[in-house]
Amino acid sequence: MRMKRSSLFAASALLQNVTASVGAEEIASLFEEASLDRQKFWAKQAECIEWFHPWQETLRWKAPYAEWFVEGKLNASYNCLDRHMKSETRYKTALIWEGERGENRSFTYEELFLEVNKFSNVLKNLGVKKGDRIAIYLPMIPEAVVAMLSSARIGAVHTVIFGGFSAEALKDRIVDAEAKILITADGAYRKGKVIPLKSTTDQALLDAPSIESVIVIENVSNKPLMKEGRDYWYADLMKEAKEYAAPEIMDAEDMLFILYTSGTTGKPKGIVHTTGGYLVGATMTTKLVFGSDPKDIYWCTADVGWITGHSYVVYGPLSNGMTQLIYEGAADFPERNRFWKLIEKHKVTILYTAPTAIRTFMKWGEEWPSSCDLSSLRLLGSVGEPINPEAWLWYYNHIGQAKCPIADTWWQTETGSIMVAPIASYTPLKPGSATFPLPGIEMAIIDDSGKEASSGYLVIKSPWPSMLRGIYNDPLRYKETYWKKWDGEYYFTGDGATKDDEGYFWLMGRVDDVINVSGHRLGTMEIESALVDYPLVAEAAVIAIAHPIKGQAVVAFVTLKDKALKEPFLEDALKEHVVVKIGSIARPEKIIFTADLPKTRSGKIMRRLLRDIAEGRVVGDVTTLADPQVMREIQLQYKEEND
Ligand code: WTA
């Protein structure tokens, strides 16, 4: 999908105009300071938040374990709320919420402060102590933000589970984190329908004994069943709660949250982030990438169930005292211009969304945005997957009206905050490139032997404050996944990248068994485990193929047990089974039933060869296969199923 270089440069020249040099000197000096002394640079950046006690040492690094701002004491909720009580920000709007049916609620910083304090007391009254885990399974309503900040306030550890995950996926995460409390809602609205979150929760809790209490927010009023002695209504508990809860004094390295993400095995990884470094990273990058005009109305469309929702809906914007919009609902409800109507109505100045959404909007046509007033916008952002130049230019022209720079931001759940991105007033843009690493971030592209190359694996060369501190309950996996490939010398992102002759980074997507469907990370093994869990399935191999809207789509090759017949219902039944095990984001696009799978002599499934078939390429080297004949049969089968 890459555009020809000549057109890239033409577009880039055009963009020089809009990226005029506001604060350019200041930004240049940030890069300069970071390159001269990275630790000194970060020590200075850490002043972007308030500390109860200063740290003694900026970084203690014993590869691959980092401690940042050693012995510093702080509280993340204090930084997002209490510190604004001392300035005019107290009276500023923090959250503007819009529901799918057009309802609005808003909170000033002071109102949010009061709500969080009360809810912190609710949690304490239910026996939550520092270090306890709290699971949050909510739609995009203000209480999701309240729940996260309250957990942080009392020193608990939140683990937010995306509301689209199934009961089984929810249960797995609760069990792994041994969460004590679950915060959910009666339901969520999606395209005019009610999704009964509470009943999904009840199903998950049949097998999650660590949960002692469930707090339910009334959002859709569908009168769910409430279990006596376990389930409580949020509103009832809030009525009895005291108004102030002192923020817990947290160590910089105390855990702030666990967020589960997919990896290359069947089991999701609980990525651990701690308080000090994470908050410095989220706060500093929000300001650097999105700017700090106090009049901004910022809208990040990510759900709090993903890292983007953590860093760029909750911690980064609130710590910076920004005003932001959050929306619970679909982009095409009631019509395909809902996003543009929201921007027009709330005068949004910064929009941060995902390429998959942009491609969907492209498909729907520019008549939808062009019928709305988008003149309030000043900056656009993109995150979650590579943005192809066509989508980039469409976003630039039809949403940004050829006047808003686009910040294509590369980062991961593990990195905690943005790593590679342009700085709007400074970096000349190229459509489709995330441009350069931010100051203080040292990245490289290397080959198998660890030598720097213009094309290869994307690695991070030195520790950064918001880096993950480990995988919950699985220290070995932390080392093996991220540090083993080059003996602890580099952090391996799992992504491939190239660098052009001007040093611009072009991110190419995953090079491991992780796939990215509509910006959501899924492990091929995770979907395979779900498929083989179906009683008639013997084996499964999952690959991703290019998809015009979703970026990638899931294709599964499945072999059935000996006596099983390939009944017509089976394809749908298997797709549904994956939805039940994981959630609808993992639903396979296609299932191909084959008699066998291509395996090496040691039994490893060669997914690469299956990708060749599915993407219609000449099939690669089959000589290492135990039975090369298998490929011919799969090819025939694939052709038959697609004709
Ligand atoms: C991909 C999302 C290209 C990448 C913040 C990464 C991107 C994975 C970009 C992390 C981008 C994210 N350009 N690829 N701007 N942003 N990715 O953990 O493959 O949900 O490894 O974090 O998304 O996904 P995650």
Calpha distance 314→52 (Å, rounded): 21
Query: Residues near 623 by Cβ (< 8 Å), separated by ≥ 6?
Result: none
Distances (CA, A) of 37 to 289, 354, 549: 21, 34, 43
pLDDT at 341 over 50: yes
Look at residues 560, 522, 466 and name the one whose alpha carbon lies nearest to residue 46.
Answer: 466
pLDDT > 90: percent of the chain: 82
Closest ligand 1 atom number to CA of residue 387? 13
Enclosing H/E stretch for 98: strand 93-99
Calpha distance 128→111 (Å, rounded): 23
pLDDT at 81 over 60: yes
Query: Residues near 602 by Cβ (< 8 Å), separated by ≥ 6?
Result: none
Q: Whose CA is nearest to atom 19 of ligand 1?
A: 509
Closest ligand 1 atom number to CA of residue 409? 15
Beta bridge partners of 553: 545
Indicate if ligand 1 lies below 6 Å from the C-beta of 285.
Answer: no
Give the torsion through C-alpha atoms of 562, 566, 570, 571, to 10 deg.
Answer: 110
So what's the pLDDT on residue 639? 83
Look at residues 515, 136, 162, 495 and name the one whose alpha carbon lies nearest to residue 306.
Answer: 162
Q: Domain 11-440+452-496 falls in which CATH fold?
A: Rossmann fold (3.40.50)
Q: What is the mean pLDDT of residues 480-494?
A: 94
With 0.85 as the threshold, say if the pTM is over it. Answer: yes
> What CATH homologous superfamily does 518-642 map to?
ANL, C-terminal domain (3.30.300.30)
Indicate if ligand 1 lies below 6 Å from the C-beta of 434.
Answer: yes
So what's the pLDDT on residue 464? 98
pLDDT at 626 over 90: no
Indicate if ligand 1 lies below 6 Å from the C-beta of 439.
Answer: no
Distances (CA, A) of 469 to 416, 437, 616: 10, 21, 41
More confident of the two residues 601 and 438? 438
What's the Rg (C-alpha) of the chain? 24
Indicate if ligand 1 lies below 6 Å from the C-beta of 411.
Answer: yes
So what's the pLDDT on residue 287? 96
Q: What is the mean pLDDT of residues 353-380?
A: 96
Distances (CA, A) of 78 to 147, 189, 210: 14, 31, 29
So what's the pLDDT on residue 14? 44
pLDDT at 82 over 70: yes
Q: What is the mean pLDDT of residues 523-535?
A: 92
Distance 16 CA to ligand 1 centre (A): 26
So what's the pLDDT on residue 189? 96
Q: What tokens does 478 get?
A: 């932390």
Closest ligand 1 atom number to CA of residue 308? 5
Calpha distance 372→219 (Å, rounded): 29
**8-state DSSP, 58:** E
**8-state DSSP, 47:** G
pLDDT at 244 over 60: yes
Distance 332 CA to ligand 1 centre (A): 25
Distance 454 CA to ligand 1 centre (A): 20
Query: Residues near 383 by Cβ (< 8 Å), separated by ≥ 6?
Result: 302, 308, 312, 352, 353, 354, 408, 409, 411, 519
CB–CB of 486/455 below 8 Å? no
Closest ligand 1 atom number to CA of residue 408? 15
Indicate if ligand 1 lies below 6 Å from the C-beta of 316.
Answer: no
Indicate if ligand 1 lies below 6 Å from the C-beta of 417.
Answer: no
Calpha distance 397→380 (Å, rounded): 11
Site to probe by mutation for ligand 1, drawn from 387, 411, 438, 471 as the one with most ligand atoms within 8 Å of Cβ, is 411
Calpha distance 489→587 (Å, rounded): 37
pLDDT at 5 over 70: no
pLDDT classification of 448: cutoffs 50, 70, 90: confident
Indicate if ligand 1 lies below 6 Å from the C-beta of 307.
Answer: yes
Indicate if ligand 1 lies below 6 Å from the C-beta of 353.
Answer: no
Indicate if ligand 1 lies below 6 Å from the C-beta of 162.
Answer: no
**8-state DSSP, 326:** E
Indicate if ligand 1 lies below 6 Å from the C-beta of 368.
Answer: no
So what's the pLDDT on residue 211? 98
Beta bridge partners of 251: 73
Site to probe by mutation for ligand 1, drawn from 162, 301, 516 as the one with most ligand atoms within 8 Å of Cβ, is 516
pLDDT at 59 over 70: yes
So what's the pLDDT on residue 378? 97
φ, ψ for residue 512 (rounded to 5)? -110, -165
Q: Whose CA is nearest to atom 3 of ligand 1?
A: 386
Distance 489 CA to ligand 1 centre (A): 22
So what's the pLDDT on residue 69? 98
pLDDT classification of 267: cutoffs 50, 70, 90: confident
So what's the pLDDT on residue 621? 80
So what's the pLDDT on residue 17? 39
So what's the pLDDT on residue 603? 76
So what's the pLDDT on residue 18? 41
pLDDT at 23 over 90: no
More confident of the two residues 11 and 316? 316
Calpha distance 15→12 (Å, rounded): 5
Distance 383 CA to ligand 1 centre (A): 7
Site to probe by mutation for ligand 1, drawn from 356, 410, 413 as the one with most ligand atoms within 8 Å of Cβ, is 410
So what's the pLDDT on residue 604? 80
Distance 121 CA to ligand 1 centre (A): 36
Calpha distance 253→273 (Å, rounded): 9
SS (H, E, C) 421-440: CCCCCCCCCCCCCCECECCC
pLDDT at 232 over 70: yes
So what's the pLDDT on residue 619? 83
So what's the pLDDT on residue 1? 38
Distance 384 CA to ligand 1 centre (A): 4
Q: Whose CA is nearest to atom 25 of ligand 1?
A: 412
Angle at 69 between CA 305 and CA 178, to 5 degrees: 40
Residue-wise pLDDT for 148-185, tens only, equals: 999 999 999 999 999 999 999 999 999 999 999 999 99
Enclosing H/E stretch for 566: none
Residue-wise pLDDT for 564-622, tens only, equals: 888 889 999 999 999 999 999 999 999 999 988 998 877 788 888 898 898 888 888 88
Q: What tokens does 336 get?
A: 């395909």
Site to probe by mutation for ligand 1, drawn from 495, 506, 550 as the one with most ligand atoms within 8 Å of Cβ, is 495
Q: What tokens does 449 get?
A: 């032997």
Torsion over CA: 400, 406, 408, 414 (sign): negative
Site of tokens 């720097």: 452
State whether residue 227 is helix, strand or coil. Answer: coil
Q: What residue type is 576 in one-letter code?
A: E
Domain ranges for the chain = 11-440+452-496, 518-642
Question: Average model confidence (pLDDT) for the chain?
Answer: 93
Calpha distance 149→20 (Å, rounded): 37
Indicate if ligand 1 lies below 6 Å from the C-beta of 510.
Answer: yes
Query: Residues near 569 by Cβ (< 8 Å), separated by ≥ 6?
Result: none
Look at residues 137, 126, 129, 123 and name the one whose alpha carbon lies nearest to residue 168.
Answer: 137
Query: What is the C-alpha end-to-end distance of the chain, expressed in Å?
Result: 26
φ, ψ for residue 157 (rounded to 5)? -115, 120
Q: What is the mean pLDDT of residues 74-91?
A: 98
Q: What is the mean pLDDT of residues 184-210?
A: 97
Query: Residues near 606 by Cβ (< 8 Å), separated by ≥ 6?
Result: 598, 599, 600, 624, 625
So what's the pLDDT on residue 628? 84
